[in-house]
């Protein structure tokens, strides 16, 4: 009798395993898509709100209303935001305000986001020098990590700060939040000293 019961459970266990494997594949795919969206939408446009707006419209992303922007709890200063979906079900948010840009993904594989972000951030852009600025971790209220890089050029008054905040925790509101903002160099130098 027990053997029959166990044999009856095997298809159910196999189905659960298949669902877990698919969820992991999706998280890996969403991670790559989030980093691509960040570098194509935010970084390639220099965190410039006007350029990002044009890019989001061309990419046919759905503009969010002011109420939706407030509901999602974006950072202060966000004036425009868009939502997008990938063909395999990934959901992403793109936000801009002044010289700030952000991409958020509810589900994303943390290791892939970190690896791809580091690879692209360390490459610099348009002759800019890439400088690592931090790799922070915390476990409260849940596991959370943040990588930070600065892009700058000799003699420039500003730096472009690139950050990737990630979590593998299911209770995290977003498992990936990638930000880019322009900061006067005197501020970043004062903070790092």
Q: Which two tokens stand for residue 36?
A: 């691509």
User: What mean pLDDT, rounded, does the chain reach?
Assistant: 85
Residue in 66, 65, 159 with CA at minimum distance from that of residue 121:
159
Q: Flag whether pLDDT at 166 surpasses 70.
A: yes
Residue in 62, 58, 92 with CA at minimum distance from that of residue 50:
58
Q: Mean pLDDT throughout 105-129?
A: 91
Q: Flag whether pLDDT at 21 surpasses 80.
A: no
Q: Flag whether pLDDT at 141 surpasses 80.
A: yes
C-alpha–C-alpha distance, residues 116 and 134, integer Å: 16
Regarding pTM above 0.75, the answer is: yes
| pLDDT, position 103 | 96
Q: Mean pLDDT throughout 11-32?
A: 66
Split at pLDDT 50, 70, 90, the class of 125 is confident
* 29 contacts 88 by C-beta, under 8 angstroms: yes
Q: Which two tokens stand for residue 96?
A: 């801009």
First and final CA of the chain: distance in angstroms? Answer: 71
* 42 contacts 101 by C-beta, under 8 angstroms: yes
Split at pLDDT 50, 70, 90, the class of 5 is low
User: What are the strands of the beta sheet with 91-96, ordered from one edge?
Assistant: 62-63, 80-85, 91-96, 100-105, 176-184, 158-166, 144-152, 129-138
Q: Which two tokens stand for residue 121?
A: 């951030």
| pLDDT, position 193 | 53
């Amino acid at each position: 009798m027990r053997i029959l019961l166990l044999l009856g459970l095997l298809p159910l266990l196999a189905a659960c395993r298949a669902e877990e494997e698919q969820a992991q594949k999706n998280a890996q795919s969403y991670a790559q898509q989030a980093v691509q969206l960040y570098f194509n939408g935010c970084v390639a446009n220099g965190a410039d709100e006007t350029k990002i707006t044009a890019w989001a419209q061309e990419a046919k992303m759905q503009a969010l209303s002011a109420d939706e922007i407030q509901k999602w709890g974006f950072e202060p200063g966000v004036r425009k935001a868009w939502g997008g979906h990938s063909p395999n079900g990934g959901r992403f948010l793109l936000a801009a305000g002044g010289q700030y840009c952000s991409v958020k993904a509810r589900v994303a594989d943390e290791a892939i986001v970190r690896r791809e972000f580091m690879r692209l951030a360390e490459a610099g852009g348009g002759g800019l020098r890439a400088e690592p600025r931090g790799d922070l971790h915390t476990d409260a209220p849940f596991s959370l990590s943040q990588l930070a890089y600065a892009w700058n050029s000799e003699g420039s008054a500003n730096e472009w700060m690139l950050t990737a905040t990630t979590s593998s925790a299911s209770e995290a509101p977003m498992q990936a939040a990638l930000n880019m903002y322009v900061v006067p160099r005197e501020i970043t130098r004062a903070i790092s000293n």
